[in-house]
Structure 1
Amino acid sequence: MPTKTKDAARDALAAALGAECVRDATPADAVSDVRPQWVATVDGTERASIAMKIAAEHDLRVVPKGSGSKLDWGNAPDAVDLLLDLSAANGVIEHAAGDLVVHALAGTPIAEVSSVVRGAGQQLAIDQPLPTATIGGIIATGTSGPCRHLFGGVRDLLIGITVVRADGTVTTAGGKVVKNVAGYDLGKLYTGSFGTLGVITEAVFRLHPVAAEHRWITLEAEDPATAAAAADTIRHSQAMPTAIELDQAEPSGSITICAQLEGRPTATHARAVELTAAVGHGAAVLQQAPQWWGRYPFDPGTGIGLRVGVEPAALPRLLAAVREAASNSGLPLALRGAAGLGVLHAGLPGDADPAAVTELVAALRARSHYAVLVRAPQRVRDAIDPWGPTSPGLLTLMRRTKDQFDPDHRLAPGRFVGGI
């Protein structure tokens, strides 16, 4: 970008947003080691729209940011001119407790939303492993925690969304009531799009009541077949578990299966006791979740994280494949995640050899529906396509969607599947 054009773009942003809201980027603002030119801070939909209109006029490539906890997920962007910081777009706009609905700005930490709605005995059932994660970032990356098993993921809980498109146009989809079905469900399209289709500025979620009592049942299995069988027994039981998680600290170690139950006082404990008897294998009832519950098995700042998925019935095969692949690569892989859904996270130390990680990922991709490299140091991302192979038909559809929503490819260019 010519210097004159660069200066004009920065001046226009400062004039529209205020000089205090625009600054030169520093190395700490890098998106997966790609440093932007400037950072512009906006506090809501209106100012985000103003910033995007100026970005469009000056052909700036833009990456949206909340707390930055997942800014290094996915591909590194091809280039970034402007980092649009929405951390100041913070706050719950409305909590309609009677309708079990909450409306919040995208930069609001999910912990803050949870605190507000819990005052009315309600919960936003997106138990997020990263406590600083914001509403917008959670939608953009499509991340959920253990409770997804019963309550569904972000796509299922999101009922309304406000987005600023690449040209600054503000669009709203859905509404403030759970049964609103008018038009296309664009919230599902934006969920997991990594900021490549629009800048999420507001969201409306459905809520659920907080149960009066919680119990966890836990057991240890020495082999993948036993662990998967226990998870399957729990999944098909009448106990209606909120979540079924597993944890394996090392590839050759034992596998812990843990399920969460919730409901009425006393009755929930009784259900847990009945379930332990049905599962066997020394299952026990816990009053509190284990320490590892709802956490990633990798360091979110320095580690290597993978997400691997199969249908739940294929969990034994996945666990065996993970054990074999880790053994062949010689890597100290840790495993954790939703045994009841067949969606697991794997973790490796950040200094793992890229060639060995490449071998491991290739083996997992051959034995599962997908194996996505969630985050890793740049030297590992240089060796591996984070997203893996995608069918030509699906990739064509995704590219056409990108062309429709962002014709000039200025929003987070290159971060998503196939370099979208």
Structure 2
Amino acid sequence: MVTALPGREPLLRALIDICGPDFAREATAPDMVAGHLASFVAAPATNRAVMDTLRLSAERGLAVVPRGSGSKIDWGTPPRGIDLLLDTRRLDGIWDHRPERLTAQVGTGTPVRRVQAALALRGQRLAVDPPSPKATIGGMLAVNESGPLRHRYGSPAAQVDRISYVGSDGTQAESDGENGNPGIAEVTGVIVSASLRLQPLPEARRWVIVPVATPVQVHHLVEATLAARVTPSAIEADLPVPAAVRSAGQPAGALAVLLEGAAAEVTARAGKLAKALGGTAAVTPTAPRWWGRYPFGREDVALRIAVPSADLHAAVYALRDVTGAAVPVRGSAGLGTVHAVLPGTLPPERVERILDAVRGVLLARGGRCVVIAAPPPISTVVAMAGRRDLF
């Protein structure tokens, strides 16, 4: 698609006029998206520049893909082609922070970690913890990327009061967040800023960790955790591989529960929960190494399974039975939403058969399974998750 663009040099000059001489260029190898190389990369610094860039793209019929840090650029349905990567990282900053109202407006290109560091100086936080270390606010919201804290606080989209975005025709508009008209999932174009609801920074955090080996153990421990009424902020499970095929050097699985609040009462709640979960439970002020991290890499097939938490163990067993091999699983056991990993070396037809079988099992339980990421040989054949599937 790159070489078919008419007026290539005039188009690049127009992008330079909008974004500046150092912020519009021809694409290079690192600018690949799902196997497609873009023609140009542009990094506008203002809402007006985003509007002008998208208006130009609409006039020229360009296929545009927004990019923040690029940590999730290959998620979901791959584009058929791409002419322009619109880099959002200059659309950064925090303004209109109102600590007394627990709100702030944040630019879409601002890294989530930078937002958290700035808010912590005022004793506040955004109650999100996306597993992508370099995630920007816009990238997180675009795919509703959630971490362990979703158990208590809901998804990132649910914590948005309002977003400002520029539509694909270059017109600026607003939405009232997750359930606005349009909602975040329906927005086409580029999110430029978001008004976010904040939370007080907890005084103390404690993890109660229990070793586990099977999905049914996770099921029983989640039930016991919820029955203890200790108000967990997150309940996460990690099952690297089934116990039957685990070697001596591989770690066992674990269930970890996060408790937050005032130091004394968090200590009391952690002790109560540890007692309820049995003698193998341990209380620690630090998270396990796997906490808040994806179990998959760029060359894997990443599945997202969402099912009522009471049926999560059945869904994991079904996946393992259908696959006939070790299937690492990690995620929010308290919500019934986890990620599972298939080898990226599987033939696409084999991946499709596995998905069909698992979806048949999940359908009867009100669950679903989608492929959120896969290498290009698979992502171009297997039906990938659409944006609505990520919300």
Cα separation, 2, equivalents of 1:361 and 1:235: 31
**Aligned residues: CA RMSD:** 2.3
Q: Which residue of 1 aligns with 2:318?
A: 321
Of 342, 361, 371, the match for 1:367: 361
Q: Letter of the 2:334 partner, please give it.
A: G
Cα distance change, pair 416–206 in 1 and its aligned pair in 2 (3 A):
closer
Q: Residues 146 and 243 of structure 1 are in contact (CA less than 8 Å); yes or no, is this contact kept in structure 2?
A: yes
Q: Which residue of 1 aligns with 2:150?
A: 148
Q: Does 1:342 align with 2:339?
A: no
Q: Which residue of 1 aligns with 2:45?
A: 43
Of 223, 230, 233, the match for 2:221: 230
Q: Which residue of 1 aligns with 2:92?
A: 90
Q: Which residue of 1 aligns with 2:180?
A: 185
Of 102, 105, 108, the match for 1:103: 105
Matches within 5 A, 1:233-382: 233-252=224-243, 255-280=253-278, 282-299=280-297, 301-326=298-323, 328=324, 330=325, 332-368=326-362, 369-382=367-380
Cα separation, 1, equivalents of 2:279 and 2:313: 17
Cα separation, 2, equivalents of 1:349 and 1:339: 23
Displacement of 1:159 in angstroms is 1.0
Comparing 248-257 with 111-120, greater Cα deviation is found at 248-257
Cα separation, 2, equivalents of 1:366 and 1:10: 49
Q: Letter of the 1:343 partner, please give it.
A: T
Cα separation, 1, equivalents of 2:338 and 2:201: 26
Gaps of 5+ in 2: 247-251
Comparing 376-385 with 279-288, greater Cα deviation is found at 279-288
Displacement of 1:21 in angstroms is 2.3
Q: Which residue of 1 aligns with 2:83?
A: 81
Q: Letter of the 1:32 partner, please give it.
A: A
Q: Which residue of 2 aligns with 1:217?
A: 208
Cα separation, 2, equivalents of 1:115 and 1:334: 32
Displacement of 1:306 in angstroms is 1.4
Q: Letter of the 1:373 partner, please give it.
A: V
Matches within 5 A, 1:163-202: 163-174=165-176, 185-186=180-181, 189-191=183-185, 197-202=188-193
Of 152, 160, 163, the match for 2:162: 160
Displacement of 1:121 in angstroms is 1.1
Q: Which residue of 2 aligns with 1:135?
A: 137
Comparing 117-126 with 271-280, greater Cα deviation is found at 271-280
Q: Which residue of 1 aligns with 2:122?
A: 120
Cα distance change, pair 56–233 in 1 and its aligned pair in 2 (3 A):
same
Q: Which residue of 2 aligns with 1:402?
A: none
Comparing 301-310 with 275-284, greater Cα deviation is found at 275-284
Cα separation, 1, equivalents of 2:64 and 2:33: 11
Q: Residues 89 and 109 of structure 2 are in contact (CA less than 8 Å); yes or no, is this contact kept in structure 1?
A: yes
Cα separation, 2, equivalents of 1:281 and 1:72: 43
Displacement of 1:258 in angstroms is 1.0
SS in 1 for 2:37: coil
Displacement of 1:230 in angstroms is 1.0
Cα separation, 2, equivalents of 1:129 and 1:271: 26
Displacement of 1:211 in angstroms is 1.2
Gaps of 5+ in 1: 176-180, 388-414
Show CA shifts across 1:165-220 (max 9, x none).
01111112349xxxxx9xx7247x224x5xx6121010111111111111111212
Cα separation, 1, equivalents of 2:111 and 2:339: 23
SS in 1 for 2:263: coil
Cα separation, 2, equivalents of 1:205 and 1:116: 14
Q: Residues 66 and 190 of structure 2 are in contact (CA less than 8 Å); yes or no, is this contact kept in structure 1?
A: yes
Q: Letter of the 1:311 partner, please give it.
A: P
Displacement of 1:164 in angstroms is 0.1
Cα separation, 1, equivalents of 2:387 and 2:307: 21
Cα separation, 2, equivalents of 1:221 and 1:4: 60
SS in 2 for 1:73: coil
Cα separation, 1, equivalents of 2:315 and 2:6: 55
Show CA shifts across 1:86-126 (max 9, x none).
11112212322111112111111000000000111111111
* Count of matched residue positions in the alignment of Structure 1 and Structure 2: 376
Displacement of 1:50 in angstroms is 1.0
Cα separation, 2, equivalents of 1:106 and 1:41: 13
Q: Which residue of 1 aligns with 2:249?
A: none
TM-score (norm 1): 0.84
SS in 2 for 1:19: coil
